[in-house]
Amino acid sequence: MTFGQQLLDAAASRGRLCVGIDPHAALLAQWGLGDDVAGLAEFSRRCVEAFAETVVLVKPQVAFYERFGAEGFRVLEQTLTDLREAGCLVVADAKRGDIGSTMAGYADAWLGETSPLRADAVTVSPYLGVGALRPVVELAEQTGRGVFVLAATSNPEAVELQNHVGTDGRTIAQQVVDECASWNAGHEGAGNIGVVVGATLASAPDLSNLNGPVLMPGVGAQGGSAEDVARIARGVEKLAFPNISRAVLSAGPEVADLRKAAEAAAGDFPGADECV
């Protein structure tokens, strides 16, 4: 089964919300935890307990673990393991991107069957050329795991680059989406290769031919709404998986409050059967 189909099936009962695990220093302090490995571990444990059986997808931000070095990666490994064992789909927000054997190494690190960092999907950057991502795409196809390729992100610094129009009349963002669509073309249902498209964008690429999942950050604290998600993903709304992090995590530190906030947010994004 493809990663895209796994998401659609799970969304039927859990809705389409993705919640981030973002243990940055300010949030650790807000939760009364130390800005250290012990605080990182406790923050992650509470998030796993709150979200693993609540939402369709959980997205740990790798940078907030990486800053603690080897000990931080050990916490991340445990967090990924705990999420998977609870039956939750998880995307490692690593945003890796390179060429050749180096890209193959990143692919194996995040999607490889024996890797302690194995996730169900990983975010990658296409700005060394979409074709340079082939090693991670091929591994995703072999394993039924997912890749989310940055296409049109929600940060304002990216707009000029991603909206640059090439000689064929397509923006760079649209070129990225179209190349991802070509990788999914062999699947009858939703494929393994998704894209990242910000929910705050006034103008977004056409997603109608992607045939893969769309991760949509920017909902909640950044100003994106359920209406924005529906507008950008019109016609393929069932494939849009909005990401909310700060607006849910600010409900912490109690697990029950986090779970309640996630459930309330997920109610705005029902599964495929309820999408218009």
Query: Catalytic residue numbers?
Result: 95
Q: CB within 8 A of 16, min separation 6: which ones?
A: 56, 238, 240, 241, 242, 266, 269, 270, 271
DSSP 56: S
CA–CA separation, 187 and 242 (whole Å):
23
3-state secondary structure 243-276: EECHHHHCCCCCHHHHHHHHHHHHCCCCCHHHCC
Contact at 8 Å (CB) between 75 and 68? yes
Question: Which amino acid makes up residue 158?
Answer: A
Helices (H), the chain: 3-14, 25-30, 37-51, 63-66, 69-85, 100-111, 134-143, 159-162, 172-184, 226-232, 246-249, 255-266
Identify whether the C-beta of residue 130 lies closer than 8 Å to the C-beta of residue 159.
Answer: no
Query: Which residues lie across from 48 on neighbouring strands?
Result: none
Other CB atoms within 10 A of residue 247 CB: 16
